[in-house]
């Protein structure tokens, strides 16, 4: 027995060795968390570094401003989509809502319209903006009510309203761009300068649309972090039945997030029309996919309950920089679709793997 004592004593780790091992494990765990949770930021930096070396035009002031304006619209769509996906839903109609809001607003700001026997318009910029926001709220409410009261799955409900909203926008605009198809006797002939400045202007060299997107992102982050709606959003996405049992109004929360999505889609559509100096019923056709891709790339769980606004903004930047880089490298539009689709699928596969592997 005494002969075994030294071996047993040697098998035990000294206090110093235990502390060092514990510190090393914490360090490795911290590095892993940074790599996993900071993956979108790292991906954006690596992509930007590659494009900087691959083309001399990427870091030019004009190109960066262009990326900022284009990405701002996608980011705003994606922020609204984030609220919906955090509850475990999905909104396929955001692009159509943006187009409808911009089209209705543009028509009212550029021509006279007869509503219920009353002639209205052309209205000024402020009224036009309020009309666009109201259209977004109404459209979002329709989505939310169909899903909660009609008990229609999110995917089917928003797929249906996608077509319905596009159809209404086509009726409003007669299927033509606004204001280019209108005659000088019935319109101002142009969209308001304030609208154009919002979409394509700059403040101190920074795109106005980008500043608006940053402001919306900060406000949305505060709502999710500090308000009852934010807590309810995460709770419903994490476990709907548990949220219901704890007293959270699940249907009310679902309606609210779709209203938020519609409201932000209207802002994004308004900015897009300002950048294009025209509104039409078929604009923002790719933003349904782009917004979902940005949210997923940004790390939000497609099944709800986990994610955030700033991740979606980074995701929007990645998609915007990727598309811009492919254009600068003269990659065919056909191949661009393959690349974008592959990136989305790859990110989702990685996201699901790391959740199973690390529970993160």
pLDDT for the residue numbered 181: 45
User: How does DSSP classify residue 118?
Assistant: E
pLDDT for the residue numbered 19: 53
In the numeric block, the tokens 């409808």 are attached to: 100
Write down the pTM of the prediction: 0.86
Instruction: Please state, in angstroms and rounded to a whole number, the distance separating the CA atoms of residues 110 and 184.
Output: 10
As a CATH number, domain 54-358 is 1.10.3470
pLDDT for the residue numbered 9: 47
pLDDT for the residue numbered 10: 46
**Nearest of 187, 188, 142, 146 to residue 165 by alpha carbon:** 142
pLDDT for the residue numbered 184: 44
Residues 60-110: tens digit of each pLDDT? 999 999 999 999 999 999 999 999 999 999 999 999 999 999 999 999 988
Strand ranges in 142-261 using DSSP code E only, listed in sequence order? 202-203, 206-207
pLDDT of residue 182 exceeding 60: no
Instruction: Please state, in angstroms and rounded to a whole number, the distance separating the CA atoms of residues 28 and 23.
Output: 9
Instruction: Please state, in angstroms and rounded to a whole number, the distance separating the CA atoms of residues 330 and 67.
Output: 16
Give CB contacts under 8 A, 24+ apart, made by 162-165. 162/92, 162/93, 162/95, 162/96, 162/288, 163/96, 165/93, 165/96, 165/97, 165/99, 165/100, 165/139
pLDDT for the residue numbered 307: 87
User: How does DSSP classify residue 75?
Assistant: H
Instruction: Average the pLDDT over 248-271 and give the result.
Output: 96
**Nearest of 163, 136, 159, 135 to residue 146 by alpha carbon:** 159
Cβ atoms of 169 and 100 within 8 Å: the answer is yes
Instruction: Please state, in angstroms and rounded to a whole number, the distance separating the CA atoms of residues 146 and 148.
Output: 6
- In this predicted model, which residue has the larger pLDDT, 331 or 348? 331
Cβ atoms of 272 and 70 within 8 Å: the answer is no
Q: Where are the domains of the chain?
A: 54-358
pLDDT for the residue numbered 41: 85
Residues 304-334: tens digit of each pLDDT? 888 899 999 999 999 999 999 999 999 998 8
Residues 207-216: tens digit of each pLDDT? 999 999 999 9
**Nearest of 304, 290, 297, 288 to residue 240 by alpha carbon:** 304
């Amino acid at each position: 027995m005494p002969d075994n004592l030294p071996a047993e004593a040697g098998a035990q780790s000294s206090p110093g060795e235990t502390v060092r091992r514990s510190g090393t494990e914490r360090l490795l765990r911290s590095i892993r968390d940074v790599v996993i949770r900071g993956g979108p930021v790292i991906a954006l930096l690596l992509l930007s570094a590659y494009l900087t070396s691959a083309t001399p035009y990427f870091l030019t002031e004009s190109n960066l401003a262009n990326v900022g304006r284009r990405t701002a619209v996608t980011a705003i769509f994606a922020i609204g989509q984030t609220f919906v996906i955090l509850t475990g839903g999905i909104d396929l109609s955001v692009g159509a809502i943006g187009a409808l809001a911009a089209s209705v607003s543009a028509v009212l700001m550029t021509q006279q319209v007869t509503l219920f026997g009353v002639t209205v318009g052309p209205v000024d910029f402020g009224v036009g903006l309020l009309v666009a926001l109201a259209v977004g709220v109404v459209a979002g409410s329709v989505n939310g009510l169909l899903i909660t009261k009609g008990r229609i799955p999110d995917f089917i409900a928003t797929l249906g309203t996608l077509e319905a909203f596009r159809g209404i926008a086509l009726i409003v605009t007669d299927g033509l761009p606004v204001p280019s198809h209108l005659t000088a006797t019935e319109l101002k002939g142009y969209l308001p300068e304030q609208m154009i400045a919002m979409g394509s202007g700059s403040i101190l060299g920074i795109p106005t649309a980008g500043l608006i997107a940053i402001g919306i992102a900060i406000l949305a982050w505060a709502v999710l972090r500090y308000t009852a709606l934010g807590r309810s959003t995460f709770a419903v996405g994490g476990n709907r039945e548990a949220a219901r049992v704890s007293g959270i109004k699940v249907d009310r929360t679902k309606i609210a997030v779709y209203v938020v999505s519609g409201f932000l889609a209207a802002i994004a559509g308004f900015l897009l029309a300002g950048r294009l100096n025209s509104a039409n019923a078929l604009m923002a056709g790719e933003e349904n996919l782009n917004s979902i891709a940005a949210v997923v790339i940004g790390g939000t769980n497609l099944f709800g309950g986990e994610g955030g606004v700033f991740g979606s903004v980074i995701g929007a930047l990645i998609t915007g920089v990727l598309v811009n880089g492919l254009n600068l490298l003269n990659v065919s539009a056909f191949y661009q679709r393959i690349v974008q689709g592959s990136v989305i699928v790859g990110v989702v596969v990685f996201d699901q793997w790391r959740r199973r592997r690390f529970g993160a």
